[in-house]
Amino acid sequence: MNTLMRSELKLPRVSKVYRGKVRDVYHLDDGRLILVATDRISAFDVVLPRGIPHKGQVLSQLSWHMLQATSDVVPNWAVAMPDPQVIIGHACVPVKIEMVVRGHLSGHAWRTYRSGARMLCGASMPDGLRENDPFPEPIITPSTKADEGHDEDIDPEGILERGLCTQAEWEQLCNCALALFRRGRSLARERGLILVDTKYEFGRKDGQILLIDEVHTPDSSRYFHAEGFEERQEAGEPQQQLSKEFVREWLMANDFMGREGQQVPEMTDAFVSSVSERYIALYEGLVGERFVPAATDDIDGRIQQALEAYLSR
């Protein structure tokens, strides 16, 4: 099955093209962005060598769905979705911080906790917790937003010292992130899921803070199945989750964590298919609708045609 690893769109009025780990971003000279979700997948800030079928479509459609479902909480950048893998919206000046909100002791937080630390990015984690236990209240553990290479943990003091935002902006970002997390939890609960942790990114436009990029997708969030959660915790069993964490776990089990000199393990057809199936399952679980795959015989051509029709209007 074809996947889109790199878009090669020929569009008028494009002033700049930026290729991130997963998305290709086309800047138009009228202040809009065209964000193409490719089928690339990254882990440990490394783009893996094989694309995941339908991943870009899942990310775009789910992100669009969630942006609409949270627009009354925090205004966002999105304007239109002319193709299943494309969102068009306002260009913003990014705040170089990833606002990571954690409701449970999982993933990076658990690995830090297990090492004996009880502070993560300036946030305190109480003693006596087990892996995947909920925190008394969600915590914010920010990281820097690197243009290249690895994002890094940072605390609020470091954010202000480096001038990444002002004190007033930091307080606004925290309030926005926690409000979005509450809405995300509510949306997940309706679908029988638990929003465990997620990240939000924000940008500045005309003096206003907007939510940018994706929101509540499997690339930015971790979900547990709510049914049986307490029983699994009491039994010390792993939680059933829908997220990209299983990709990281697979890589770690194969001795890869993105460090210099490490080789990405072979991504077999079976593994790639399993990742695709998990992405589709999360979409269907969160949206409550059957996923309808778009045509993949010429993904770049399909996107080109859709954008030409949209921009001509």
Taking only the tens place, the pLDDT of each residue in 132-161 is 999 999 999 999 986 655 679 999 999 999
Mean pLDDT of 267-278: 93
CA dihedral sign of residues 112, 113, 115, 118: positive
Tell which residue, 232, 238, 246, 253, has the closest CA to residue 279: 246
All structural domains of the chain: 14-92+268-312 (3.30.200.20), 94-246 (3.30.470.20)
- For residue range 56-104, what is the model confidence (pLDDT) as tens digits? 999 999 999 999 999 999 999 999 999 999 999 999 999 999 999 999 9
Instruction: Write the CB contacts of 234 (distance below 8 Å, at least 6 apart in sequence).
Output: none
Tell which residue, 149, 150, 129, has the closest CA to residue 139: 129
- Rounded Cα gap, residues 256 and 308, in angstroms: 41
Q: Considering the chain, what is the average pLDDT of its residues?
A: 94
- Rounded Cα gap, residues 180 and 211, in angstroms: 10
174-195 burial, b if ≥16 CB within 10 A, otherwise e? eebbbebbebbbebbeeeebbb
pLDDT of residue 147: 63
Residue 62 phi, psi dihedral angles, 5° rounding: -70, -40
Residue type for position 119: M
- Rounded Cα gap, residues 197 and 99, in angstroms: 11
Instruction: Give the model's confidence band at 244: pLDDT under 50 very low, under 70 low, under 90 confident, else very high.
Output: confident
- Per-residue pLDDT at 190 exceeds 90: yes
